[in-house]
A and B are shown apart, each in its own frame.
Chain A
Amino acid sequence: MNVLVCVKRVPATAGHIALSADSQEIDTRYLGFTVSPHEECAVEEAVRLIEKHGGSSTVLTLGPEVAIDQLRDAMALGIERAILLETDGREWDPVATAAAIVEAIEAERAAGRSYDLVMFGNESADSAGYQIGVRVADALDLPCVTGIKALEIGDGEAMVRRQTEAGWETAELSLPAVLTVKEGINLPRYPSLPGRLRAKKKEIERIKPQWQDGGLEKIRLKLPVQVEHSVEILGKNGDAGAQVVELFQRLRLL
């Protein structure tokens, strides 16, 4: 089977987020870049599917040249191919992003490469629009389930599960399909040294999509009220055992 995973490069933010002076960007001077935890799980899921069922996996992102780092990260984990929809660094809104991805998928199909599964993270780590997967599915007229936490592939179909307040929902859908993945579906692996070195040498396929106006326009960023952290020392040298247990119970960890 052929699987496509779509990811988005985002700053790996710390507890405290700062904005640039013009409030247009997050201040990333001290930050690395990553993809959302949901997307990490989508990548892991794709790698596992191919390990189990055979086929090929491709990772795609829409972003500036430097987003190649995130493509290579995915390839270091076992994804075979990478496609960069290269932008000039401006933020594309969900309508435009989805349209560019659809165009790329159609171009791939025209070139003889069609995907059985197109996977996304449930939402991006920065704008959290929850839209791309659904919009891509709609445009391609494919079935779509969002927020899945379990996936099994059958003969021409997929069985997925998602977690709700009430319990687990199960759905079956025929392939090809679009899925958006939620953190928890798996525990992503770390990149191995050979994986990283292989990824470094791989070629990145590049497409330059035309900028298109979307439905949304970024005016400026605004920081929400940030939670102040405080440290409370419960005790020393093991004398805080009981309090730790109580705390864990309060946090429903025990």
Chain B
Amino acid sequence: MNFDFSDDQKFLKSEARKFLEANCPTTSARKVLEEEGKAFDEGLWKAVAGQGWLGAAIPEEHGGLGLGHLELCVIAEELGRAVAPIPFASTVYFLAEAIMIAGTDEQKADLLPKIAAGEVIGAVATSEGPGVVTAGNLQATVTDGKLSGTKVPVTDGDIANVALVLAKENGKAGLYIVDMADPSVTKEAVKTLDPSRDAAKLVFKSTPVRRLGAAGEGFELVERIFDRAAVLLSFEQTGGADRCLEMAKEYALERYAFGRVIASYQAIKHKLADMYVKNELARSNAYYGAWALNTDAPELPVAASAARIAASEAFWFASKENIQTHGGIGFTWEMDCHLFYRRSRQLSLVAGAPRVWKERLVSHLERRNAAAAA
């Protein structure tokens, strides 16, 4: 049994933590959160590119480091812990993964080196309004290689150079690569729960596109991309959840009430124990997702769903109970608690809400159980 990261991967993780402690204190997220018009921390983005992290899982022939996805997982955990305000997920977990699994040789040669070098910021645009986007309600349309429609919200849509857009062509959904510099694209920033991450409303009017993957397989491809992204996001969420538990613990050990530290009350001890339990369940599920992602296992859809559900629950619980443990001071703007509370919402929704993943998971389990019984 070898169900853990290697010593090299753990070393990379500790180096990543040191790097982010030096380059991404929570003031970094706070600055993006507070400054009107500031979409991300550009200095941090350049520094992260300099570390090679953007291309960690991109093959060397395309300008990446050619490491595996396990290396990307440990980096993701540290980015989540640091509430990093950069378009890393959009660019690396979504765009780069999409190009790597579905891109033509030409698309790979074009985009992957730019991603690895930090020259391209990505975005993925599926949502068009409240609720789940389906084949029945998808509006964006491609006709004769031109895209028209509206996507909202698109994380990092404001700053992306390249977007992946879900749209229908001849009545069937496909996924399309859009050069965001095209003048036919209108971008309008939207206010979100987590202003430390950028989001926009995008309007396309006869925007030229290149198709990614086969025609008519847009939803299947989105599922495959989201499975991969979900595993990586689950590490970010686990990292954030662990940091919340640490913050709650540190505060509970120094805050006195009724003559003793609040960490000595069972109401607080049990709350923190519950956080620990959820965080460990999230971590173990994330590890299994990492294994499935790294080996391209057929179990990936189930493993990714479980990782996403467990991590979303853990980060939500830890981020809200961290505020509760802090009491009144935790409700202030100046304390960092809300940065994690906000980010937990952003990460839970960006690849589809847990409810959707639960439905997907059970559908897979139904089929698996039926197949086993047959």
Do A and B actually bind? no
